[in-house]
Amino acid sequence: QPIVHAIDLTVMYESGPALERVSFEIYKGERVAVVGPNGAGKSTLFKVIAGILQPTSGRIEIYGGAPGEHICVAYVPQRSVVDWRFPVTVYDVVMMGRVGRIGLLRRPGRDDHRIVRQALERVGLSDLASRQIAQLSGGQQQRMFLARALAQEAELMLLDEPFTGLDLPSQNELLALLERLQGEGITIMVSLHDLNLAAQQFTRLLLLNRTLIALGTPQDVLNTQT
Ligand code: ADP
Ligand code: ADP
């Protein structure tokens, strides 16, 4: 059974269609790059998979159920940090991942603190736990959101343009981390513009431009595109 099954997804905004009759299957443990130009519908697709946005027609199944029904799906929007007006630490942000598990009314317990510390360690941010998030570099911010997704115990992670604005060392660090998470059985979908980066670093490519252009291994997709 696929982890993500998109069936004839269409999303209409007032301005027109952002997705048109998009169907595909993604399997557990894949590392998928969703590639397309600005406005191709990548963010819209992620919002539908995460259950934040209802498609106009068609449907999305996550292990045969609604998003969040069987497994936790974490969505990391692009430029997530910019809007944050409150002084919060890296630790606070990662702990927010626990709120979805334990509810707002229960205070974090010993287990929650342990899980947060482990998540920070897995992304290499243990030393920055008490840092204000405004002081993080772009690469550190992306790793912090991955730690939050780990604290949520998400099995499917959707990252919107995580490489945008990162320097090369930070990009490589993030790529290595994604590969490690994939090795632990987490399914990862990343949106990006750069087809070369996608083809080198991901196990499957999904080319999107309002409709599904191609889906397959990098080799298959590059062969059909040239
Ligand atoms: P991408 O992530 O590939 O850049 P988006 O999914 O953000 O693409 O956008 C796809 C299209 O839908 C774009 O033309 C965008 O302007 C439009 N769009 C996105 N969100 C909305 C919205 N909330 N209301 C109206 N139009 C939107
Ligand atoms: P991204 O680059 O991640 O696609 P955008 O900068 O296109 O993000 O959009 C930022 C936010 O504005 C998103 O939440 C998107 O849904 C919304 N948005 C994008 N295009 C439009 C639009 N034409 N009308 C209304 N909202 C939009």
ipTM of the complex: 0.72
What pLDDT does 2 receive? 96
Q: In the 8-state DSSP scheme, what is residue 108?
A: P
The preferred substitution site among 43, 158, 191 for testing ligand 1, maximizing ligand atoms within 8 Å of CB, is 43
C-alpha–C-alpha distance, residues 68 and 137, integer Å: 30
**Beta carbons of 49 and 66 less than 8 angstroms apart:** no
C-alpha of residue 108 to centroid of ligand 2, in Å = 34
Q: Which residue has the higher pLDDT, 125 or 68?
A: 125
C-alpha of residue 13 to centroid of ligand 2, in Å = 11
The preferred substitution site among 11, 38, 42, 43 for testing ligand 2, maximizing ligand atoms within 8 Å of CB, is 43
Buried b (16+ CB within 10 A) or exposed e, 17-55: ebbbebebebeeebbbbbbbeeebbbbbbbbbbbeebeb
User: pLDDT tens, 201-212?
Assistant: 999 999 999 999
What pLDDT does 87 receive? 82
- For the segment 73-87, the average pLDDT, to the nearest whole number, is 75
With a 6 Å cutoff on the Cβ, whether 15 touches ligand 1 is yes
User: pLDDT tens, 18-54?
Assistant: 999 999 999 999 999 999 999 999 999 999 999 999 9
Q: How confident is the model at residue 1 (pLDDT cuts 50, 70, 90)?
A: very high
- For the segment 160-185, the average pLDDT, to the nearest whole number, is 93
What pLDDT does 225 receive? 72
User: pLDDT tens, 96-126?
Assistant: 999 876 666 678 889 999 999 999 999 999 9
C-alpha of residue 10 to centroid of ligand 1, in Å = 13
Q: What is the mean pLDDT of the chain?
A: 92
Please give all residues whose beta carbon lies within 6 A of any atom in ligand 2, as ranges.
15, 43, 78, 160
C-alpha of residue 107 to centroid of ligand 2, in Å = 35
Q: Is residue 85's pLDDT more than 90?
A: no
